[in-house]
Amino acid sequence: MAIRHQLINHPPSALWSVLEQPVLYGKWVVGTQDSRLLEGQWPEVGASIEYTVRLGPKELQGRTTVRRLERPGGLELEAYSGLLGTARIAFDIRPWGDGTLVLLDEHPLQGLGGILHNVALDAVLQIRHRAMLGRLAEVVDAQVADRRPAG
């Protein structure tokens, strides 16, 4: 299991304003781009987004579905990546002083990722999560800055 955390220097509402926008998914999730709503009302349970996944020179289509939503403290997603299979991605969102502590827990469920899951894969996920949570914090920072009055 790969668990990583990040302190975001904004309240949970600022984080949720990013998590609720399917078009921003590709800006903070490492390896994805061109994210868009596929079905439902994101991030309600059962809603899905789709995106392009890059693995070296290959481009694949990916899909993520909301499996659990417990606002304001939790969001669980199931990501489907073709031959790689599916993964559970859980966000534990906690107020932390004036900011937000985000704990990210991801592990493969089915397919090749589930079959090959081991300590080495978890180490790779840790590296990916460090980058992903850093990007998420940057997107939240940018969203907050865009909403501040000029001057």
pLDDT in tens, the chain (151 residues): 568 899 999 999 999 999 999 999 889 988 788 899 999 999 999 999 999 887 778 888 889 999 999 999 999 999 997 777 898 999 999 999 999 999 999 888 887 666 666 677 667 777 777 888 999 999 999 999 988 765 5
Report angle CA 40, 42, 44 to the nearest 5 degrees: 80
Structural domains in the chain plus CATH codes: 2-146 (3.30.530.20)
Nearest to 137, CA basis, from 13, 3, 2, 15 = 15
Return the DSSP state at 83. Answer: G
Nearest to 81, CA basis, from 50, 105, 56, 118 = 50
